[in-house]
């Protein structure tokens, strides 16, 4: 029994163990399952939370995007590939006064309700974007519900999903007002450009006559010394004025930052001399002492923009003289080698320092100095000339040259401006002690001007020229400038006349065509000439030197253009290129030999007193005046367009002729009438034309009276009908317009200076050879001015011998030269003695101390006007006990020995006023 019970017990234990194991496993599985379920539930809850958060963020971003989308003032929209709207912003809805459901899913016609024509334009651009899969930008007019349109700038781009295009998006910005403003700005700019062009023409026309006439006068080798100096001053001042005009016309370039530097070689001595002499004229009656210090070791030639450097220096000096009532103005110029590593070997820093004892500036004023239109102490300086642009432009020019400017100033004490300008050394030559000393003593003339007038002009008798200009004085000037070339010169006074000459079969090497002419301008004339098959060069002559002119002319049939006033260097280059260089070398050489054989070159002597010049003016002005008087005799003339056009043409001619003859006041009235007629303001034309006519008739009467007086002066006194060996008195007197008193003064000055110079070269050896050369060179120049040909020829030969250091030739011929020149001095003394006997002057013992005081003061200040006035005052009398002082002073003044005059007068006890 027991085994069975044991067996059963064992079985039961095993069952219990098995059940326990099953229970434990089931319970563990349950726990694991519960844990897994719990874990899954927790993860699912987390994912739900994350999902909800993502959905919320997405909603927020969508809301933000829609808010931004709707707040943009531009019209924004999307279209599908069928060009139906899928999205749009509130600005588009507001513009078309529609709801969103009115547009979404519809096209332009059904959705936006735009006309079919506009919708077609929209679709055309949409297809370009879709087909080309690229952005497209355009300006388009979009209609509004009230029937009007506004201009939009629209950008359309393709929309892609997974690299596949699904439609387009567009952004349209309203630019209606902006476009109006842009057009207004463009119109204003066009108006400014037109104004500059017109003003350029009006200013340059008289400048053409002024500079052209002086150019021609300076070509005359027979011009006397005094007249040459005066004309050179006129030319230098006019040339600088022309530069200022160009600066004003180029101001738009400065504003736009497009001003370009034109670099070339220039002489520092010429630049300083020209600018200083011009600014010394600003002194006037002010008691200002001017000092110039220039480093003798600085380079003689520099490479840079001479005009801009001169403009900088001129602005600094003019400011110093303007704002200094009394005291001192000083200019110091030197140069040093640039020490910046990596710079060019020839890099030089030009240092300009201008100091004055004028008004000075406070610290706050110095900070504002370079602001545009900046002016100080307006109450005190209300009469001071200038716009306040000078220093602003100066600073910009200096910065453009990579230079710098510094200012030290104290109110009531004065100012010092220091400029550093990087330039390049153009040669190894230094300025030298002699040139530096001459500059300090203001003995130089305009080297640039002399270089300008001493152009090598090849004779071109094989060449032919046609000058086309409606103003005869302009033709006169052009002919005068072309005359030394021995060209065949023809002229035409209108575009029609020029066309007719070409139709008649005439062919010219160059046609010089005026730009602005009445009825048919130069561009239209050139176009018609080209249509005739004419292929020879046509060169524009224009007074409108505004940016872009070159392109305008070259695109309209011209081969080149020259700005008025005519630049001789530019004209010479054109003549060489278009005429001379096209000839065989043997033709050129033959012409040169024939020209050399002629010896005397034909010249056209003209100036504002030239009878031929006056005759042309009288004919031009008189003809136009008669035509206009006949025209306005009909009280209703101004009602007909043809009459108004004729009035404008003839009043334009009168205006230009008056400007050429030197009557700017009457020319300004004519300009006002011309502009009024062009603008249809006939009230001004009718009321003020008679005033111009009366004034013009008065002026023509004055010219006639002056002409009669001039004819009367041609009856020379017997003394100047004498023949003196070695000098042509008739030519000399004609050069002085038959003014006997002036001519006598010129001869006296020549005789005195010649007497003084001969004394200094009586002995000659190797030690004073250079001094000898200087003296005979001076005699050569002064002799040519007074037509003393015999002395002049001998001086030329001795000058060449001194240059070659041929002491043997000089020793042999100098005694003969001294004898010839001394005899001429003696003969002139005799002639002048007879003249003085016929024209007796009051006698005084000695010159007045007051006159000598003025002379002393003028020499100290280098004031040539006061110096001339003092010498004129002294010349009204004869002196019987001055021990030759008056004669000595005349000779010293003639030789510009101002330092010796000062020493002489101080030794005599004269005190400056």
Banded model confidence at residue 266, pLDDT cuts 50, 70, 90: confident
Least confidently predicted of 448-457, 522-531, 785-794: 448-457
pLDDT tens for 330-364 read: 999 999 887 655 555 678 999 999 999 988 888 88
Is residue 114 exposed (0-12), middle (13-18) or buried (19+ Cβ within 10 Å)? buried
Question: Is there a contact between 298 and 333 (Cβ–Cβ < 8 Å)?
Answer: yes
What is the number of other CB atoms lying within 10 angstroms of the CB of residue 328? 15
- pLDDT value of position 548: 45
Residue 391 tokens read as 């220093």
> For 734-745, what is the mean pLDDT?
68
| 157: pLDDT strictly greater than 90 | yes
pLDDT tens for 468-507 read: 987 766 777 777 778 878 899 888 888 998 999 999 899 9
Question: Is the peptide bond preceding residue 565 cis, with omega within 30 degrees of 0?
Answer: yes
CA distance 93 to 546: 50
Least confidently predicted of 458-462, 463-467, 839-843: 839-843
pLDDT tens for 756-765 read: 778 878 888 7
- pLDDT value of position 747: 79
End-to-end distance of the chain based on CA atoms, in angstroms?
171
C-alpha dist (Å) from residue 735 to 601, 605, 714, 831: 17, 10, 12, 18
3-state helix, strand, coil in the chain (%, to 5): 60, 15, 25
- pLDDT value of position 344: 56
CA distance 913 to 909: 13
Angle at 19 between CA 13 and CA 24, to 5 degrees: 125
Residue 539 tokens read as 């060169």
Least confidently predicted of 19-28, 177-186, 258-267: 19-28
> For 548-560, what is the mean pLDDT?
75
Greater confidence (450 vs 297) lies with 297
Least confidently predicted of 24-33, 144-153, 775-784: 24-33
Give the percent of the chain with pLDDT over 70: 75
Question: Is there a contact between 436 and 300 (Cβ–Cβ < 8 Å)?
Answer: no
pLDDT tens for 714-729 read: 444 555 666 788 888 8
Residues whose CB falls within 8 Å of the CB of residue 803, separated by 6 or more in sequence, listed in order:
773
C-alpha dist (Å) from residue 653 to 202, 209, 310, 627: 12, 14, 35, 12
> For 285-296, what is the mean pLDDT?
81
Banded model confidence at residue 75, pLDDT cuts 50, 70, 90: very high
| 370: pLDDT strictly greater than 70 | yes
| 523: pLDDT strictly greater than 80 | yes
- pLDDT value of position 824: 87
Banded model confidence at residue 608, pLDDT cuts 50, 70, 90: very low
Banded model confidence at residue 449, pLDDT cuts 50, 70, 90: very low
Residues whose CB falls within 8 Å of the CB of residue 450, separated by 6 or more in sequence, listed in order:
none
Could you tell me where the DSSP H helices lie in 1-156?
2-71, 90-96, 100-103, 116-132
Token look-up 């110096």 returns 867
Question: Is there a contact between 861 and 876 (Cβ–Cβ < 8 Å)?
Answer: no
Residue 618 tokens read as 């009288």
Question: Is there a contact between 207 and 238 (Cβ–Cβ < 8 Å)?
Answer: yes
Greater confidence (562 vs 610) lies with 562
Residue 695 tokens read as 């004034």
Dump strand ranges (E) for 431-486. 464-468
pLDDT tens for 10-68 read: 776 677 666 666 666 666 666 676 676 666 666 666 667 777 777 777 777 777 777 77
Give the percent of the chain with pLDDT over 90: 16
- pLDDT value of position 649: 78
Token look-up 């101001």 returns 251
3 state SS of 257: coil
Greater confidence (319 vs 286) lies with 319
- Tell me phi and psi for residue 468, to 5 degrees: -115, 115
Banded model confidence at residue 629, pLDDT cuts 50, 70, 90: confident
- pLDDT value of position 192: 65
| 281: pLDDT strictly greater than 50 | yes
> For 512-526, what is the mean pLDDT?
84
- pLDDT value of position 84: 94
Token look-up 């302009």 returns 474
3 state SS of 601: coil
| 443: pLDDT strictly greater than 50 | no
pLDDT tens for 823-833 read: 888 888 888 77
CA distance 912 to 902: 10
> For 94-103, what is the mean pLDDT?
91
How many CA atoms lie within 13 Å of 333's alpha carbon, on the beta-carbon side? 27
Token look-up 């929309």 returns 159
Question: String of b and e for 343-367 (b: at least 16 CB within 10 Å)?
Answer: eeebebbbbbbbbbbbbbbeeebbe
- pLDDT value of position 244: 65
pTM (whole model) above 0.75: no
CA distance 363 to 378: 17
Question: Is there a contact between 485 and 574 (Cβ–Cβ < 8 Å)?
Answer: no
pLDDT tens for 653-697 read: 788 778 777 777 787 788 888 878 887 888 888 888 888 888 888
- pLDDT value of position 341: 54
Token look-up 């050399």 returns 596
- pLDDT value of position 599: 44
| 627: pLDDT strictly greater than 70 | yes
- Tell me phi and psi for residue 104, to 5 degrees: -60, 130
| 453: pLDDT strictly greater than 50 | no
- pLDDT value of position 500: 92
> For 302-312, what is the mean pLDDT?
87
pLDDT tens for 690-712 read: 888 888 888 877 776 666 555 54
Token look-up 């070398």 returns 585
| 602: pLDDT strictly greater than 50 | no
> For 584-608, what is the mean pLDDT?
64
Q: What is the pLDDT of the chain when averaged over all its residues?
A: 78
> For 227-241, what is the mean pLDDT?
75
Greater confidence (118 vs 48) lies with 118
pLDDT tens for 395-424 read: 888 888 899 999 999 988 999 999 999 999
Least confidently predicted of 6-10, 196-200, 422-426, 631-635: 196-200
Q: Are strands 538-542 and 560-563 parallel, antiparallel or unpaired?
A: parallel
CA distance 473 to 478: 9
């Amino acid at each position: 029994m027991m085994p069975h019970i044991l067996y059963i017990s064992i079985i039961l234990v095993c069952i219990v163990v098995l059940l326990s194991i099953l229970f434990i496993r089931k319970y563990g599985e349950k726990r694991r399952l519960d844990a897994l379920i719990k874990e899954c539930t927790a993860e699912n809850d987390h994912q739900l939370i994350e999902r909800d958060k993502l959905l919320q963020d997405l909603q927020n971003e969508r809301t933000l995007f829609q808010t931004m989308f709707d707040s943009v003032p531009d019209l924004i929209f999307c279209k599908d590939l069928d060009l139906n709207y899928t999205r749009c912003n509130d600005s588009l809805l507001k513009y078309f006064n529609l709801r969103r459901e009115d547009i979404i899913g519809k096209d332009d016609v059904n959705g936006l309700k735009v006309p079919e024509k506009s919708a077609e334009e929209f679709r055309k651009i949409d297809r370009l974007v879709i087909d080309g899969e690229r952005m497209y930008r355009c300006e388009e007019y979009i209609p509004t519900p009230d029937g009007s349109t506004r201009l939009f700038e629209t950008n359309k781009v393709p929309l892609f999903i997974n690299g596949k295009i699904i439609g387009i998006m567009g952004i349209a910005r309203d630019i209606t007002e902006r476009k109006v403003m842009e057009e207004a700005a463009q119109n204003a700019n066009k108006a400014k450009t037109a104004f500059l062009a017109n003003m350029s023409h009006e200013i340059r026309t008289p400048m053409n006559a002024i500079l052209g006439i002086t150019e021609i006068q300076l070509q005359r080798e027979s011009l006397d010394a005094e007249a040459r100096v005066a004309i050179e001053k006129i030319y230098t001042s006019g040339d600088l004025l022309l530069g200022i005009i160009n600066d004003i016309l180029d101001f738009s370039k400065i504003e736009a930052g497009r001003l370009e530097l034109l670099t070339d070689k220039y002489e520092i001595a010429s630049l300083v001399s020209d600018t200083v002499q011009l600014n010394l004229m600003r002194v006037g009656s002010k008691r200002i002492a001017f000092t110039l210090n220039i480093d003798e070791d600085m380079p003689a030639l520099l490479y840079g923009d001479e005009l801009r450097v001169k403009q900088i220096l001129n602005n600094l000096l003019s400011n110093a003289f303007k704002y200094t009532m009394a005291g001192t103005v000083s200019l110091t110029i030197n140069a040093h080698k640039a020490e910046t590593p990596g710079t060019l070997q020839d890099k030089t820093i030009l240092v300009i320092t201008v100091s004055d004892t004028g008004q000075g500036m406070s610290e706050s004023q110095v900070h504002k100095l370079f602001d545009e239109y900046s002016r100080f102490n307006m109450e005190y300086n209300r009469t001071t000339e200038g716009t306040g642009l000078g220093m602003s432009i100066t600073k910009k020019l200096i910065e453009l040259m990579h230079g710098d400017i510094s200012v030290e100033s104290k109110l009531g004490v004065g100012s010092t401006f220091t400029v550093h300008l990087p330039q390049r050394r153009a040669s190894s030559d230094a300025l030298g002690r002699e040139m530096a000393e001459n500059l300090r003593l203001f003995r130089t003339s305009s080297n640039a001007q002399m270089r300008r007038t001493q152009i090598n002009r090849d004779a071109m008798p094989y060449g032919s020229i046609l000058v086309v200009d409606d103003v005869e004085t302009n033709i006169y000037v052009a002919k005068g400038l072309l005359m030394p070339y021995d060209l065949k010169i023809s002229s035409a006074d209108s575009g029609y006349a020029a066309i007719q000459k070409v139709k008649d079969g005439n062919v010219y090497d160059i046609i010089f065509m005026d730009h602005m002419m009445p009825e048919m301008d130069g561009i239209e004339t050139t176009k018609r000439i080209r249509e005739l098959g004419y292929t020879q060069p046509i060169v524009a002559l224009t007074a409108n030197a505004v940016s872009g002119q070159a392109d305008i002319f070259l695109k309209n049939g011209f081969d080149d253009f020259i700005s008025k006033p005519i630049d001789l260097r530019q004209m010479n280059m054109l003549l060489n290129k278009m005429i001379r260089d096209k000839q065989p070398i043997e033709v050129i050489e033959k012409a040169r030999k024939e020209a050399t054989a002629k010896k005397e070159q034909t010249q056209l002597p003209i100036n504002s007193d030239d009878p031929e010049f006056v005759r042309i003016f009288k004919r031009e002005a008189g003809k136009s005046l008669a035509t206009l008087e006949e025209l306005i005799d009909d009280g209703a003339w101004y009602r007909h367009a043809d009459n108004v056009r004729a009035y404008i043409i003839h009043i334009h001619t009168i205006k230009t002729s008056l400007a050429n003859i030197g009557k700017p006041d009457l020319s300004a009235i004519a300009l006002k009438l011309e502009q009024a007629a062009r603008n249809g303001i006939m009230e001004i034309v009718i009321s003020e034309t008679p005033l111009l006519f009366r004034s013009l008739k008065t002026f023509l009467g004055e010219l006639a009276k002056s002409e009669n007086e001039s004819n009367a002066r041609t009856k020379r006194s017997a003394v100047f009908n004498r023949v003196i060996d070695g000098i042509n008195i008739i030519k000399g007197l004609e050069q002085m317009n038959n003014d006997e008193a002036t001519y006598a003064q010129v001869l006296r000055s020549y005789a005195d200076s010649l007497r003084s110079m001969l004394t200094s070269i009586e002995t000659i050896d190797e030690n004073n050879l250079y001094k000898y050369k200087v003296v005979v060179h001076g005699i050569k120049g002064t002799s040519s001015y007074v037509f003393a040909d015999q002395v002049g020829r001998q001086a030329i030969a001795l000058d060449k011998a001194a240059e070659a250091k041929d002491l043997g030739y000089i020793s042999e011929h100098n005694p003969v030269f001294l004898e010839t020149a001394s005899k001429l001095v003696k003969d002139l003394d005799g002639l002048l003695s007879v003249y003085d006997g016929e024209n007796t002057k009051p006698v005084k013992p000695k010159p007045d101390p007051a006159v000598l005081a003025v002379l002393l003061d003028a020499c100290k200040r280098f004031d040539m006007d006061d110096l001339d006035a003092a010498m004129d005052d002294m010349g009204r009398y004869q002196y019987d006990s001055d021990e030759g002082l008056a004669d000595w002073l005349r000779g010293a003044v003639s030789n510009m020995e101002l330092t010796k005059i000062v020493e002489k007068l101080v030794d005599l006890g004269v005190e400056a006023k």
